Chains A and B, each alone.
Chain A
Amino acid sequence: MKKKRMFAGLLAGALLAASLAGCGAASGSTAQPGSTASSAGAGVVEVTIPSYKTGENVGAVFFEPQVERFNQAYEGQYHITLESVPQDTFLDQMKMLAQQGELPVLVQSGDVDWLSNVVYPNGLAYDLSGWLEENPELKARLMPDGLAFCTDESGAIYSMPLATVRPTGFFWNSALWDTQEDLSAMTMEQFITAMGDQKIAFSTAENGWVAALFLTAAIAGEEGGIEWLQAGVENRIVDFSEPAFVNAIGTLQQMLQNNAAPNSIGATYADAANSFMSNQAALIANGPWMSSDFASTNSANWSNGFDGANVRAALFPGQIGIANTATYGEWFISANAAPEEIELALAFLEFINSPEEIEAYLLAEGGDAPGLTYSDGFKEEQGKTQVLADLAADTTADTTFVPCILDVIPSSVANADFGMLLPSLADGTFTPEDFAQRMTQAATEATAE
């Protein structure tokens, strides 16, 4: 007994000592992320940025090497070190740091509500408008919609507007469904007929991502649907009795009943992706970033005879691309950062929006940069990746961009209620009207003042 007691006493002492030591160390240099700038030494400004696009994350494939390229380009001047934070707590950590006034120099995204209600009105972000004014070439590469959205009434620009748009369409496996037709030129009805009984790898768990994309396309195919979706960017949709929505839900129900791959109900995105990549479904909807999953370097994740080379891509019927251009960008700079840190951050934003980096990004994750005149070899290079070439060919002046339904409804309805209601739609418990009524109810409750 004595021994145990002594042990506990020792441990308590050790804990105390260690926490004191921790205090000492923390007040030195490593207390906050991004505040570790040290202009000493060889005059290199160094910052640490917490990011979720690292390690296993799908975004790491492009982002980690990009930061390396930045470090090389500015060797001896700037250096960025990445630290990985899990994606599902990343935003929570940023919110906490914001409250402490200790945001990192560069902050990677955040949801619209947080940015527009907390970060920007409270002066937590650095105003980029002056810098963009001095860099007209850079500014010209940014998309006008995004630039307008990011500019507030006083002319300040806090979020770095995007230069690229990545329209989301769908992928199909030509080994299972060998169609020669131009799918995006069809109407939704023709598409469903053409699809016959091919299987779609739906997901209904989490936020029902794959189902939400097909639903968005179906809404856009209805009379007045495009306007209904686009109006939701300004004012979140809480009334789902709109005929375009109800009819589109009917279309989705039909697809869920006739075309859903086995195990679609309750499937997470991971389940759906695996279902597609094991030849159990001929179609899946997702953004162009999925193209890297179909490269031969990823063949270890394929099974059951699936070959990524057979995958083709298209925008949705009715020449619909799902993308929201009127949106905040990926980065903002903390207003609390030291001047030399802000210089580094601006250099980084300029670097990732340089023509070379934009093109590299488009080749890696797909998409289009309307404000950029592509270099000579770019189209050819893009053509080497079949699905990206397919999507580029579909993206024309006649393409209509609509925001995904999940982005224009209250967050909790998008993240929870929508996916939760889908199984009952699929098994016929709900009629489309029931579903719409449930959505309205959920949205009303979620926004009740």
Chain B
Amino acid sequence: MHATEKRPARYKPSRLQRANYKWIYLFLLPTVVIFAMFYVVPIVEVFVTSFTKWDGFNAPSFNGVRNYINLFTSHSFLTSLKNLFWWCVIAMTLHVGFGTLVAFVLFHRPHGWKLTRAVYMIPNVISAAAWAMIYRFIFNDDIGILNSLIRLLDPDFSVDWFYVSPWAFWSVTFTWLFYAVIVTLIVLGDLLNIPQELTEAARIDGATGWQLIRYVQLPLCRAAIGTSIICSLTSRIAMYEQIALTTAGGPDYATVSLPILLVNAITDYRYGYANAVGVLMFLIGLVILWVVNRLFRMDETDY
């Protein structure tokens, strides 16, 4: 619909922009200070000690890539990578898709849109511990709401959703799948920012509702959708409490995640190994960041 300017490979700042440098760095200062105070030490420590044997207190002793070798030969680690892959696929498609759908619905302001937007945030107010309890009751075999409903049709039905493969994986997935309020808010924000002239122009050109969405609104929201995907994928990498408080990774590691392994290693005072898991979480996150940035051309502005 519109041309995005191609930026030269090496950017040459204009004089005006160089005059702005002092402002630019001044503006970055608070964030950099916070970063330095709270993140520099942990990040360096995670990387360095991932090559050591360390109990978290006494001096670490260098042991090369031993931790990484142990990781890549570990059954639970490989399983957690597989789980992460599928969770990422689900997050990118169904989770972000649902959040975007809700954003488009709210954008058209049907009756009750304000209420919908307000209550959609509520699940984010409830702590993970409470969520886990609620879901243990929903998916409970004997008294859970799900099986109570199914038994209306099939009185003999019995599945312990959280504790039998392959249902456990889907049950854990369900605890976050539809709670995409972050996606909705980010996408809705971009939708509201589309200049009215653009939509008007498209309408005059004879674009119908679907065409408008497909060729104008969706492309203009791609940065928001990219941001949403990054947010939801990084949350998948960091997923801990929903799992720890429901299946704890079982049955037979069907729902195990990297943070679960990290915490388990800390329980055993193996901080070096735990931090090797942390390093891999970083690396996976960076790859995701890079790919999504490329895919959604997020560094380019549209206006």
Contacts and interface: CB of A to CB of B under 8 A. Distances in A.
Contact of A266 (B55, B160, B253): B160
Nearest to B77: A445
Given A266-B160, A423-B164, A117 B252 contact: no
B238 to A, nearest CB: 18
A265 B160 contact: yes
Interface of B is mostly: loop
Contacts of A265: 141, 160, 163
B164 A427 contact: yes
Interface string A409-431: 01110011101111110010110
B250 A420 contact: yes
Contacts of B250: 419-424
Interface in B14-65: 53, 55-58, 63
A262 interface: yes
A427 B168 CA distance: 14
A427 B160 contact: yes
A420 B53 contact: no
A206 B260 CA distance: 13
A429 B58 contact: no
Interface in B225-260: 247-253, 260
A415 B267 contact: yes
B253 A412 contact: no
A441 B247 CA distance: 19
B247 A420 contact: yes
Contacts of A98: 57
A32 to B, nearest CB: 18
Which bracket fits the contact residues of A?
A: 35 or more
Contacts of A429: 165, 251-252
Contacts of B143: 263
Contacts of A422: 250
Contacts, number: 97
B80 interface: no
B58 A420 contact: no
Contacts of A412: 264-265, 267-268
Contact of B248 (A95, A416, A438, A441): A416
A57 interface: no
B108 interface: no
Interface string A175-193: 0000000000000000000
B162 interface: yes
A206 B136 CA distance: 13
B33 to A, nearest CB: 13
Contacts of A25: none
B251 A423 contact: yes
A419 to B, nearest CB: 6
A416 B268 contact: no
Interface in A100-158: 113-114, 117-118, 121-122
Contacts of B70: 445, 448
Contact of A263 (B66, B76, B141, B260): B141
A237 B142 CA distance: 36
Contacts of A411: 267-268
Given A95-B57, A412-B264, 12 more contacts: A265-B141, A266-B247, A410-B268, A412-B268, A416-B264, A419-B250, A420-B247, A420-B248, A420-B253, A427-B160, A446-B265, A449-B53
18 contacts: A117-B57, A117-B58, A118-B55, A118-B56, A122-B57, A263-B141, A266-B160, A412-B268, A420-B249, A423-B160, A423-B164, A424-B165, A424-B250, A424-B251, A427-B163, A429-B251, A438-B252, A448-B74
What 6 A-B pairs have minimum CB-CB distances, sorted nearest first? A420-B250, A423-B163, A412-B264, A412-B267, A118-B57, A448-B70
